[in-house]
Amino acid sequence: MNSNSSLRIGITIGLHHEAETLWNNGIKQNAVFLAEALKHCPGVASVVLVNTTATPITPALPWDQARWPTTNFEGAKDEVDVLIELGGQIDALQTDYLKQRGARLVSYCCGFEYVHAMESMLFDKPLWGRNLFVNQRYDDIWMVPQVARISQPYFEVLRRIEARAVPFVWSPVFLEERTRGLPESGVYQPRVGPRRLSVMEPNINVVKFCLYPILVAELAYRARREAIALLQVANAEKMARENMEFITLMNQLDLVREHRAVFLGRHDTPTFLAQNTDIVISHQWENPLNYFYLETCWQGYPLVHNAHLCADLGYYYRDNDVAAGSVRVLEAIDAHDAQSLAYRERQRGLIARYLPGNAAATEVYNTLLLGLMQRPAR
């Protein structure tokens, strides 16, 4: 076991095929962002991504393995002092092996797992079936702050250990990769004429759903019809074709009746912003910080949102106050273009608190690792 001043850290991911990209889902991005953050800790000697599936690690992986070294559990089990289980789970035998070596095991929670569990049971959406394994030998639980309010008790009771909120980490590294080929790197560009409003909630659960953003847009449209060209609702095409509750409800709105709304499929966020969007409207329920907000604001787009953990970003409205949200939309229509460059610079300055290397976050993670190694292993 290495000393506290030279810890070797592993962070789990779960690959499904040999050429899988890092930027096809948020979990693997989270692992990379955490790896980048931990590299700045003075007590950390190395950080490696550890794949927990049977998919082999080969040169086909389309990322820089010098920057983000990647191995499987067999390659890491004798080479890490701390394994952070984030994107892939290890089993009881693998846990035993690490514990016998004296390595520490951390559960890093970045999803709203309580909501997922509720929905799986209420709406017959299988998650684990008979294959549930709840590891009760973690030495610590680290959770991003936006999931603490709703999921912390769920984590603690099932894993039988206290959970603690840790700094949220994000980097523009993947955003820059995806925007490299776009004009002006996809950043917001002022334009003349009525505004194009976009709603890009995933619409796969109750946490991030499009209905309240649509109502925000509706109130803004009622107030200033001439100022709004179009409402675009991504990830809603199937509902707009097949879900009669959604269809009949939407038909109550002026935006729909007057043919100013379209319901689209899935789109790449940076590209859709650059090609189709002037203002983004968002709403969340118990997920008040996520990558989408940071990507949107980093690129300088006006984001109308209700996420209290980043209330200083974009154009914030509280809770479910769609009337206040509509006022922020009108404010963005009237004032954003005149200060768009200053806005983008300010957003990036604020987002700096989430970047790897932020001094305060680095100190928190370094202290957590120091405490983890000083406590007896569980």
Q: Is the pLDDT of residue 25 over 90?
A: no
Q: Which domains does the chain have, with CATH numbers?
A: 4-171+355-374 (3.40.50), 181-353 (3.40.50.2000)
- Give 162-198 pLDDT, tens digit per residue: 999 999 999 999 999 999 999 999 999 999 999 999 9
Percentage of the residues of the chain whose pLDDT score is greater than 90: 91
pLDDT band at 2 (very low <50, low <70, confident <90, very high): low
Q: How far apart are CA 315 and CA 328, in angstroms?
A: 6
- Give 40-89 pLDDT, tens digit per residue: 999 999 999 999 999 999 988 888 889 999 999 999 999 999 999 999 99
Mean pLDDT for all residues in the chain: 95
- Give 234-271 pLDDT, tens digit per residue: 999 999 999 999 999 999 999 999 999 999 999 999 99
- By CB atoms closer than 10 A (0-12, 13-18, 19+), residue 205 is middle
Q: Is the pLDDT of residue 3 over 70?
A: no
Residue indicated by tokens 């957590």: 368
pLDDT band at 23 (very low <50, low <70, confident <90, very high): confident
Residue 309: the pLDDT is 98
Is the CB of residue 372 less than 8 Å from the CB of residue 2? no
Q: What is the pTM of this model?
A: 0.95
Token pair for 55: 């998919």
Residue 5: the pLDDT is 64
